[in-house]
Amino acid sequence: MNNLSTRTCLAAVVLLAATPLAHAGGFSIYEAGAKATGMACAVTASIDDGSAMFYNIAGIGFMPGTVADINVMPVQPHSKYLQATPPTPGATGETAKPTFLVPGVGVTHRTSGRWGFGVGVSAPFGLGVEWEDPTNWTGRFTSYDVLLETIYVTPAVSFQVIPELSLAVGADIAHQTLELHRFSPQQFGGNNDLVNVINADLEGTAEWNVTPCFGAMYKPSAKWSFGVMYHPKKTMKYTDGTGTLTNVAPDALSGAVDAAITQLGGNNYKLTTELGLPHMLSLGVAYRFTPRFLVEFNAVNFGWSNFESLELTFDPDPTGSLSSTILERYEDRWQYRIGFDFDATEKLKLLAGYARDETPQPVESMSPLLPDATRNDFSIGAQYATGKWRFTLAWMAVLNEARSNVVDGAPAMFPEEQSNPDDVQIKTLEAGAYETVANVFAFGVGYHF
Amino acid sequence: MKTIKWILTGAVLLTIFAMGCTPGDPEQTALTITQPEGSDALQRYVAMGNSLTAGYMDSGLIMNGQMSSYPFQIAMQLGYSFDSSTDDWFAQPLLAWPGVGTTSLSDEDYAAGMLHFNGAGVSVVDSTLLTQVPALALASAYLSPYNNLGVPGATTLDVTEALDSSTSQSPGNSYFDLILRNPTFGNVNMLNQGISRAPTLVSLWIGNNDVLGGATGGDPVIGENVTPPAAFAAMFEGIVAGLLDGVQARFGYTPHIVAGNIPSITSIPFFIPKAMFDGIVGGAYPTVEVDVAYVVFPALGAVQGGFTDPLPTNWTLTTAEVAAVEGAVDGYNSAIDALATEYSFTVADMHTELGSIAPPENTHFLFLLQSMTPAEAAATTLFSLDGVHPNNRGYTRAANVFIGAINTELGLTGADAVPEAADDETWDPTYPSPMPPPGLAALTR
């Protein structure tokens, strides 16, 4: 076995590189505080706790004294998959149900004058999709486990231009890590199935990235409030990632796969890439219908077009078959959010909200890595205040609309992929429908010094 | 305190809501698969069958026979490549010199190679230590099932039941090990290996060994060493239905099938009419059985070699035995015809084709030597030295019958029709060593 299987394994590893690494479109996590979560994150014009460090840093200017909030948002995503027929019956898949803890911390201080300061920690982008039964999962050649974590540390300063208007500027200092695990296939055996021959573990930590961020909040009356939030786009650079290829082939192929790995450059690689993050622009308006009841509406624009493609460079790559460019072609999208804040009693606040979040992910790049879909988010929550303390509890149900990457009876593919037989084979294999739901819980504790 | 209770109650309710908030089952989506018709159905061809499909000749399987097998000749007409280094190679389990034959050797540690004409008679060209036989398999590294899945000795039952030499109907048939490659290949039978290649066109020629085993042994008994027609019909239907359903389930379309029917045993020179036999040996030779109609070919060599006893029962077929076997063959063919109607496939009428072959083309090479040079005899007969299987030229005839059936099945006429294979194959029964290995360079990987 040699030249033949080496050749086919080579093709398989090329395929490994040719499918998306971070195929995650809507990998935004817009939940940075418990109260905000309870209001479907429609808080740009009215935020009044430490999560202002993410939702609108100009909010610092309207919070007297020192405020500290610690929030944790356990997120439980759950996806199901049904392969398109043929084959009949289609294979099924289901993600594991881990809980990801999303932090949201903010401390603000407004001086007796016009200035305010603050620092916050949030995690506005992330992804965790781990499929059960990874060695048999249909989509394992694209991903059986992916984990993307992004942390923003945001220091900011605000200035009260006039009593009704606060402007703020800050810096988003971003840190990001990425893990992707997938198998590389080879057609083999009496059923001519795709079997796992190489396990690929790709990991990396991006360089720190700093961009400015801006906020404005205007409260012309006791009833009206307006807000603008802007976090610019980023490009996270991975210059020292690692790629590890491990031979997991059946015994009959093991020798050939070893030879193929050697020919490719060995088991270990340095991996470099860049991952584009979108800008976030939120325009908010809040209206207090009564002293106890506030409604806020936000339109949030995500500049997902910054996630156009992903260039992966492996080193070494003597055959040139590992490095590649992956097309993503995400599209800018507006989200619409509405939140309700009702003071049931002097101490108890009830929260609710709804968000419509249209997916930025073109159907062509929908995959097991992230089967994104347009979302409808429903949230409720409550906040209890006693003395200087605030305790907040909220829950958001993120309901993805059912989505399939089968379009007009064919697996959706970019034109460039249609001319690549390996892409066609994998896309056809993985074509199918997904249902996804995520539960976002939120717990917050705040203290007003 | 009351407020805290409300909050706690709310928290419990939230948790309950959240627990119940899980994704529903996705709705089934379907890919649109076009049913291959006409020339489109020529894209992926798979052959299933027995020795006749494998390209077996001269009592063995070797590359030069395989490179003339009727599936290979059809594949060449369909545009497949003979070069194994290409993606459109028509994959066969090619065997190197001296081939793997079925002649018994005195040393059981060795496997016989092909029979060849040594200038005076027929002998085994060479042999291979049994442990070295796998090394003869030039294409064993091919990672998918072969396009040509014909296994010498395979019966109808074997298509769905045999996985290897330990599970073949005829015990110890090591060709299954060489061709199906189980257990390495996951213990998958011939039918499912064929299905896995996503065939759009399948040739199926199976059933010959369901009668030949009993007939060549001289004592055919229906239900004992000859498959009863009803059982054959059930098994054949299982194969056809399994093939159609299997490809449909996995790939979303149904393949086109052309099925060869079963020739008469009297069509092959292995069975020598008693009168001819007597003429060759110079008189009415005694037999144990009465009313003997045919004598098997090995008896001739024995008598010419000095055997003087009456021919035993396993060397002769009586008129009644022939009738029984022919009845079984007719039953098989009736079943195939009926199933062809029911399942809409086309029959390649090999029964008529072989029945139409007349002397000297159906005369054994050794008989032709009485009036011809070896080269002339080799260029005349369509059968190989074993007297059962065609030689290279004979396989061209078979290929063209199948090609005709393919054109009928797919409605291909005129310029669209698959052209017949040229009658330019040659057969060299001397097997000069080393034999010319067509395509070998591409196979030594």
For B195, name the nearest residue in chain A, comparing CA atoms only: A191
Cβ–Cβ under 8 Å, residues B22 and A78:
yes
pLDDT (tens digit, 9 = 90+) per residue, A293-318?
999 999 999 999 999 988 889 999 99
Residues of A in contact with B30 (CB under 8 A): 84-85, 406, 409
Residue of A4, A85, A395 lying closest to B31 (CB–CB): A85
- State the average pLDDT over residues A113-124: 96
What integer pLDDT is reported at residue B305 of this predicted model? Answer: 87
Closest-CA residue to B101 (of B130, B121, B73, B72): B130
Q: Is A404 close to B22, i.e. CB distance below 8 A?
A: no
Residue A1 has pLDDT above 90, yes or no: no
Closest-CA residue to A344 (of A380, A384, A287): A384
Beta strands in A84-164 (DSSP E): 92-94, 100-110, 115-122, 126-130, 145-162
Superfamily of domain B36-269+321-443: SGNH hydrolase (3.40.50.1110)
Residue B434 has pLDDT above 80, yes or no: no
Q: Is A186 close to B251, i.e. CB distance below 8 A?
A: no
Pairing of strands B45-49, B201-205: parallel
Residue B13 has pLDDT above 60, yes or no: yes
Rounded to a whole number of angstroms, the distance from the CA of B280 to the nearest CA of chain A is: 49
Domain extent, residue A305, equals 3-448
For A401, name the nearest residue in chain B, comparing CA atoms only: B23
Q: Which site among B8, B17, B22, B143 would you substitute to test the A interface, given the most A Cβ atoms closer than 10 Å to its Cβ? A: B143
Residue of B18, B29, B144 lying closest to A433 (CB–CB): B29
What integer pLDDT is reported at residue A112 of this predicted model? Answer: 84
Chain B stretch 298-317, residues whose beta carbon is closer than 8 A to a beta carbon of chain A = none
Is the minimum CB–CB distance between B29 and chain A shorter than 8 Å? yes
pLDDT (tens digit, 9 = 90+) per residue, A62-80?
999 999 999 999 999 999 9
Cβ–Cβ under 8 Å, residues B163 and B187:
yes
**How many Å apart are CA B20 and CA A189, to the nearest integer?**
42
Cβ–Cβ under 8 Å, residues A217 and A266:
no
What integer pLDDT is reported at residue A227 of this predicted model? Answer: 98
Residue of B6, B23, B181 lying closest to A435 (CB–CB): B23
Token pair for A288: 């207090």
Residue A426 has pLDDT above 50, yes or no: yes
- State the average pLDDT over residues A207-235: 98
**How many Å apart are CA B432 and CA B375, to the nearest integer?**
13
Q: Give bridge partners of residue A150 from the DSSP assignment.
A: A176
Closest-CA residue to A351 (of A54, A111, A39): A39
Q: Is A436 close to B17, i.e. CB distance below 8 A?
A: no
Number of A/B CB contacts below 8 angstroms equals 153
Share of chain B above pLDDT 70, in %: 93
Cβ–Cβ under 8 Å, residues A217 and A59:
yes
pLDDT grade, residue B84 (50/70/90)?
A: confident
Q: Is A90 close to B27, i.e. CB distance below 8 A?
A: no
What 3-state DSSP class applies to A378?
strand
Rounded to a whole number of angstroms, the distance from the CA of B197 to the nearest CA of chain A is: 7
Token pair for B289: 């059985």
pLDDT grade, residue B443 (50/70/90)?
A: very low
**How many Å apart are CA B75 and CA B53, to the nearest integer?**
12
- State the average pLDDT over residues B49-60: 98
The backbone torsions φ and ψ at residue B396, rounded to the nearest 5 degrees and listed phi first, read -65, -40
Q: What is the DSSP string of A24-77?
A: -SS-B-----HHHHHTTT--TTT--STTHHHH-GGGGGGS-EEEEEEEEEEEEE
CATH code, domain carrying A217: 2.40.160.60
Residue A220 has pLDDT above 70, yes or no: yes
Is the minimum CB–CB distance between A346 and chain B shorter than 8 Å? no
With residue A11 as reference, give the H or E element that holds it.
helix A3-18
Q: How many helices (H) and strands (E) does chain A have?
A: 6, 24
Q: Which site among A97, A436, A439 would you substitute to test the B interface, given the most B Cβ atoms closer than 10 Å to its Cβ? A: A439
What integer pLDDT is reported at residue B21 of this predicted model? Answer: 82
Pairing of strands A268-277, A224-231: unpaired
Residue A414 has pLDDT above 80, yes or no: yes
Task: Please provide the average confidence, as pLDDT, over all residues in chain B.
Answer: 93
Task: Please provide the average confidence, as pLDDT, over all residues in chain A.
Answer: 92
**How many Å apart are CA B26 and CA A82, to the nearest integer?**
6
Tokens 């060795």, residue located: B110
